[in-house]
Amino acid sequence: MRKHDYAEQLWLPFVDVVKEEKHEPAKRVNVVSVKLVREKTMLYKNRRIRSPLDAYLLMKEFLSKVDLEHFVVL
């Protein structure tokens, strides 16, 4: 009998803690994905990009015709 009483005394504080928790409504989280797709190629007369100016001239030519944001990696 004493073991049962002791186990019951240990259990009661945990039950009280569970009852006191406040339940907040769930929140939505946006799930997004980014995919890498080769859309086209473009000719660049200089075979190599050797300076920031070369990179600027290439990107200026490419980005002058776009109307959306672009993320570019060279």
The more confidently predicted of residues 5 and 69 is 69
Q: Which of 34-38, 42-46, 58-62, 68-72 has the lowest mean pLDDT?
A: 42-46
Distances (CA, A) of 35 to 24, 38, 52, 59: 35, 10, 27, 21
Task: Decide if 73 is inside a domain.
Answer: no
Task: Decide if 53 is inside a domain.
Answer: yes
Domain coverage including residue 46: 41-67
* Number of domains the chain is built from: 1
Task: Decide if 61 is inside a domain.
Answer: yes
Task: Decide if 58 is inside a domain.
Answer: yes
Q: pTM higher than 0.75 for the full model?
A: no
Sign of CA dihedral 9, 10, 11, 17: positive
What is the rounded average pLDDT of the residues 3-7?
58
Question: Is the CB of residue 54 less than 8 Å from the CB of residue 46?
Answer: yes
